[in-house]
Structure 1
Amino acid sequence: MNKVSMRFLMSMMLIVGGYAFAKAQSAQSLLKEVDSKVKSYKNIAIDFKYALSNEAQGVNQETKGNVVLKGDLYALNLLGTKQIFDGASIYTIVPEDEEVTISAVSDQDENAITPSKMLSFFNDGYIQKMDITQKVNGRTIQYVKLTPMDSNSEVKHTLLGIDTTTKHIYRLIIVQKNDTKITITVNSFKANQPMSANAFVFDESKYADYYINKI
């Protein structure tokens, strides 16, 4: 290879390498903006669509849900089940079975993306990289691809769709190694809403006829 060709190749490597570095930095910077925006709110109320699919297994399920968040505390309604986290215990209420399961937060999977972590889980344990940009109803949605650093993770990768104007999360797509895909799409995002002091309190008296299962 002559000197001119060698210089050209080295220049291209520097350009491509610099571009990749800039994209990585851009992804990190965008996620920091999202995290800062979320932490600036006193509370957040989200209505969302939940979809689970696995083509090989013939699974295709869609439903709607909602969640209210205040710091680590949350009250989630999904698939006919209500879940409350009061900071110490998680209360899972299943009206269909008339059952309440109470578990300590320490019993939960540390790597699981819980409602408390849904808006901040990306801060640790992932390789962050810019992905595609989409237009959705006039909004620009920038996706960031998150690949777990833990090779034992059941998740292959996660795509986080971020509204570039509001810096709010619009869509979360989790692709598992068994090709199951979970998609959460935010239909409504409201911050700093009036909230009852008992929003994250489990009132056992309301479930006197339920079976209480303490784990």
Structure 2
Amino acid sequence: MKKIISKVVLGVFVVGSMSFVEAQKIDAKAKKILDDITANYNSKKNSYFKFAFGSGTNGAVSKTEPGIYYSAGDKYKLKIMETEQIFDGNKIYNINTEDMEVTVAKPNANTAMFSPINYLTSYRNDYNVSYSGKKTVDGVSADLIKLTPVKANGLKYIYLYVDSSKKQMLKLEQFGNNKDISVISIKEYKENQQLDPNMFVYDKNKYKNYLVTEL
């Protein structure tokens, strides 16, 4: 589980290169749904997700761990197990309390930062998008949208489950070419809360005894 957490939370996804670029295909209905949700989230001062992070192989989830995610603008904080990730708008801080390690890096053009809603914006350039009908998620009728990479990036496809009436994400399923699967199921959502002013600040004084690596 820790290995998969590192891949998804700490490793981020690096887009590989190909000798050609395919024409991107985006279904109009799917695009409207994703754009409506994106506009809804962007209209909020901040958002909070409590979620379950599942992982496994061969299309089957074998372990699930709870996680929480806060965001405000382009800043965010994520916690899963002993791992915390902070993006302060400039740098990404990956903090592992079990190993007492901190990794610091600046995002670049080939980096997709982890987020329950990351694909709502990255689809515009990186994926073919198709509408796949209705599915029921925890008793809620959801629109199912499939994202398939335009260029090789280690992923086979992604499924997004959306509550279009509330313009909110319900679940994300990510399938890798190596048969790994990662699933984020949103369990609770809040918005426009009064957050700690230091919510997205990395305080190095809290980690004086940690091994700190700057990439």
**TM-score interval, normalised by the smaller of the two chains:** 0.7 to 0.9
Q: 1:210: how far off?
A: 1.7
One-letter code of the match for 1:49? A
User: Would you say 1:120 and 2:121 are equivalent positions?
Assistant: yes
- In 2, Cα distance between the equivalents of 1:179 and 1:197? 41
**2:43 is aligned with 1:40:** yes
Q: What secondary structure is seen at the aligned counterpart in 1 of 2:178? A: coil
Identity of aligned residues (%): 28
1:123-150 CA-partner distances (Å, limit 9, x unpaired): 3221111113123344211110111111
Structure 1, unmatched stretches of 5+, are 1-22
Q: What RMSD in Å do the two structures reach over aligned CA positions?
A: 2.1
Give the structure-1-normalised TM-score.
0.80
Supply the distance in 2 between the matched residues of 1:167 and 1:125 (Cα, whole angstroms). Answer: 22
In the alignment, residue 35 of structure 1 is paired with which amino acid?
Answer: T
The answer to whether the 8 Å contact 1:38/1:119 transfers is no
Contact kept? 2:54, 2:61, Cα under 8 Å: no
Could you tell me the TM-score, scaled by structure 2's length? 0.80
Within a 5 Å distance, the mapping from 1:188-207 to structure 2 comes to: 188-207=188-207
Report if aligned partners of 1:140, 1:165 keep a CA contact under 8 Å in 2. Answer: no
User: Hey, what does 1:53 align to over in structure 2?
Assistant: 56
What is the aligned length? 189
Deviations 1:159-188 (A, max 9, x none): 110012111010111111122111110001
Give the aligned residue type for 1:143. L
The 3-state SS of whatever aligns with 1:200 is coil
Corresponding residue for residue 69 of structure 1: 71
Rounded Cα–Cα distance in structure 1 between residues aligned with 2:64 and 2:47: 23
Instruction: Check conservation: 1:50, 1:183, Cα contact below 8 A.
Output: yes
Q: 1:24-60: per-residue Cα shift (whole Å, max 9, x none)?
A: 221111111111111111111101111111139x982
Deviation at 1:109, TM superposition (A): 4.1
- Which protein, 1 or 2, shows the higher relative CO under an 8 Å CA cutoff with sep ≥ 6? 2
Unmatched runs of 5 consecutive residues or more in structure 2: 1-25
Q: Which structure has the highest helix share of the two?
A: 1
Code of the residue aligned with 1:72 in structure 2: it is D
